[in-house]
Amino acid sequence: MFRRAAQPAREISADAAALLVQSGMWLDFSAVLAQPDMFDAALAKRAADLHHIKIRACLSTRPRAVLEADPEGEHFFWLNSHFSGYDRRKHDAGIARYIPVNLGEIPDYYRRFIDPVDIVIIKTRPMDAAGNFNLGLANLWHRAIVERARMVIVETSAAVPLALGVDNHLHVSEVDFIIRGDDHPLAELPTTEATAVDRAVGQQIIGEIEDGSCLQIGIGGMPNAVCSLLVESAVHDLGVHTEMLTDGIIDLYRAGKLTGLHKSMDKGKVVYSFGLGSRKMYDAVDGNPDFLCCPVDYTNLPHMVMQNDGVVAINNTTQIDLQGQAASESDGFRHISGTGGQLQFVRGAYASKGGKSFICLSSTYDKRGERRSRIVLALTQGNIVTTPRSDMMYVVTEYGMVNLKGKSVPERAHALIGLAHPDFREDLERDAYENRLIPRGFF
């Protein structure tokens, strides 16, 4: 579907664009690096004049002026489909709410279930000679929003890299207003240094990655450790079909590990839906035909993922119970991140010919000075199951790796206890027997 604006697009100031907002409207601030900055600041200045403004967004990379101007959440309602650290703090303060989603389904939500958005504001590159505004490192579901939006505003920035891809642009005929942006450098995501535990987990996964495997890499120290170890390994001719482009993937690319020769889809291309990292990533992708930025329903839907053979999906979790349920997005009733693409890549990798899915976690964590086990008899009350037990394949901690596919509840419990920190195994085993997860005499 191609949207056509009612009138030719015209340039407008951020303050004038903010005056187009009326109380009761639904706005969309887009996602990640495509969130607007100048419009955000201009709208914040109108906070006292507006009420009941609902704003959808995803993974904020900078503080949002509208939230800073409305610390009690009296004027703006912030609805977010994946939390960054900033979004999490605003949720803790009671002024942000989570939208439960499988990220790859979001384009369909906009096209089928979500009422038309009153105004969508997207940060893009300045218009090129063909009249296109490149979306940069955030394709995601932006075209789907535009199809359903009553008004489309782009905030341009020369700092947005030229990301080649599939439908990764808006044509000027689809746009109502253009804000000339400030060209400030894009936000960067600090690299998480791999710990000894991260490398121990990564070392086990490396042994399961074969020449020609197609990688999906999640965010965090453990997936980054896998990338670092792959750079040093003899594994070659890897492919990438992922949701998020990370600095670790850029390191693999620069090391010559990513040829994509064995991919069935987009042979030779690094396929992703959004990128967030350091300046080295932004520079590496800028105008580079080896990288393909695609809509998230192209990258994440399991029936798309499975079309490449040998998919290896590597993701984190924060807690897993003895039946294999992974809770990766909350700490009790406190929401911390989101479902993202984890479940979809778990399923897509399993359906891929020879595919493998790895859920990684450290065996313990510290909370208020107390060491606790991430492997537990039962999930913390209020914790959200991200990956169900029936979908779980490989689980990895620094103490080992198990494949839960085909295992009974007693076998799962026994195997997962073996992945726990030794200090917690005796209590876990006793709890498993007392709660009849493991029958007496089974082992």
The pLDDT assigned to 363 comes to 97
223 plus 124 within the same structural domain = no
CATH number of residue 47's parent domain = 3.40.1080.10
Query: Could you read off the pLDDT of 226-268 as tens digits, one per residue?
Result: 999 999 999 999 999 999 999 999 999 999 999 999 999 999 9
The C-alpha torsion from 311 through 316 and 321 to 326, rounded to 10°, is -60
Q: What is the pTM of this model?
A: 0.96
Reduced 3-state DSSP string for 218-278 = CCCHHHHHHHHHHHHCCCCCEEEECCEECHHHHHHHHCCCECCCCCCCCCCCEEECEECCC
Indicate the number of domains in the chain.
2
Q: Coil, strand, or helix at residue 425?
A: helix
CATH of the domain at 260: 3.40.1080.20
Higher pLDDT, 340 or 193: 340
pLDDT given at position 1: 60
Assess whether 163 and 253 both reside in one domain: no
Work out the mean pLDDT of the chain and round it to a whole number.
96
Average pLDDT over residues 176-191: 94
- Model confidence pLDDT, tens digit, residues 50-95: 999 999 999 999 999 999 999 999 999 999 999 999 999 999 999 9
Q: What is the pLDDT of residues 344-385, one digit of tens each?
A: 999 999 999 999 999 999 999 998 889 999 999 999 999 999
234 and 369 in a single domain? The answer is yes
Range of the domain at 92: 10-180
pLDDT value at 324 more than 80:
yes
Residues annotated as catalytic are 243
Co-location of 113 and 257 in the same domain: no
**Are 34 and 63 members of one domain?**
yes
Position 205 pLDDT exceeds 80: yes
E-strand spans in 306-410? 311-316, 319-321, 326-327, 330-331, 334-335, 356-360, 364-367, 370-373, 375-376, 394-397, 400-403
**Residue 32 maps to a domain:** yes
Residues 282 and 416 in one domain: yes
pLDDT for 221: 80
Going by pLDDT thresholds of 50, 70 and 90, the confidence category of residue 220 is confident
Q: Which residue has the higher pLDDT, 112 or 222?
A: 112
Shared domain for 103 and 202, answered yes or no, is no
Question: 347 and 210 in one domain?
Answer: yes
Number of CB atoms found within 10 A of residue 128's CB: 12
Residue 3 pLDDT: 77
Confidence of residue 288 (pLDDT cuts 50, 70, 90): very high
Chosen domain end from 180, 211, 230: 180
Q: Judge if 156 and 223 occupy the same domain.
A: no
**Same domain for 151 and 61?**
yes
Same domain, 147 and 52: yes
Q: Phi, psi (5° rounding) for residue 189?
A: -100, 115
In a domain, 383, yes or no: yes
